[in-house]
Amino acid sequence: MSSQTLQKVDHAALKANQLFIISLNILAFIFDQPWLAAFVALVMGLGSAFKVPGFLPIYKNILKPRGWMKPDILDDNPEPHRFAQFLGFIFMTAGSTALFLGSAVLGWTLVWIVVALASLNAFGGFCVGCAVYYWLARLNLPGFGKQPPSGTFPGMKPKAGSV
């Protein structure tokens, strides 16, 4: 764990993003609407492109101002979360494509993997995509330069001091 400059990351915004991804994907599955899964993929892709959580505007303009979600700002690296969202985007794109090509089992399996991983992050505080990022950083892969906040298990939500 090297000393590094951490940034303020609002984990409530990340959680809101995950909750939307989970909810919309489950609705897409129940009502058999691949376009809804494709919409989630699109939002995640746009979020990745703009380096923000895809559903950030809903958190910023609705959930936070109305007090439905309170900011949970922690010292953290934003890069692993962006990478995690990008991984989700890849899975969602692959899943949506499979669904549109008629491969329902493969498509919905990929969608459910995203739901499971987003749930683990939202409710368990463990970001698998971030853990992958830190694992790649350990391999000194170019573009993966960040280390977990001091004392934080790679992928776990930081506790601002560390455990």
Task: Write the binding mask 7 to 36 for another protein: x where contact by CB under 8 A, - elsewhere.
Answer: -------------------x--xxxx----
Does 71 bind another protein (CB under 8 A)? Our answer is yes
Q: Kindly tell me which of 57 and 161 has the beta carbon lying closer to another protein.
A: 161
Q: Which amino acid makes up residue 85?
A: Q
Does 106 bind another protein (CB under 8 A)? Our answer is no
What letters, b where the CB count within 10 A reaches 16 and e where it falls short, cover 48-87? beeebbbbbebbeeebbeeeebeeeebbbbbbbbbbbbbb
Looking at 6, 60, 106, 112, which residue binds another protein (CB under 8 A)?
112
Q: What angle do CA 124, 127, 129 make, to 5 degrees?
A: 155
Token pair belonging to 144? 């993966």
Minimum gap (Å) between residue 65 Cβ and another protein: 17
Q: Kindly tell me which of 39 and 112 has the beta carbon lying closer to another protein.
A: 112
Q: What angle do CA 80, 83, 87 make, to 5 degrees?
A: 135
Minimum gap (Å) between residue 112 Cβ and another protein: 6
Q: Which residues from 39-68 bind another protein, rule CB under 8 A?
A: none
Residue pair 106/34 in contact by the 8 Å Cβ criterion: no
Does 74 bind another protein (CB under 8 A)? Our answer is yes
Quick one: which of 163, 37, 21, 13 has its CA closest to 104? 37
* Dist. CA 25–CA 102, nearest whole Å: 17
Minimum gap (Å) between residue 53 Cβ and another protein: 18
Q: Kindly tell me which of 39 and 126 has the beta carbon lying closer to another protein.
A: 126
Q: In this structure, is the dihedral angle defined by the CA atoms of residues 56, 57, 58 and 63, taken in order, positive or negative?
A: positive
Does 157 bind another protein (CB under 8 A)? Our answer is yes
Site residues (CB under 8 A) for another protein? 26, 29-32, 70-75, 112, 115-116, 119, 123-126, 151, 153, 156-157, 159-163
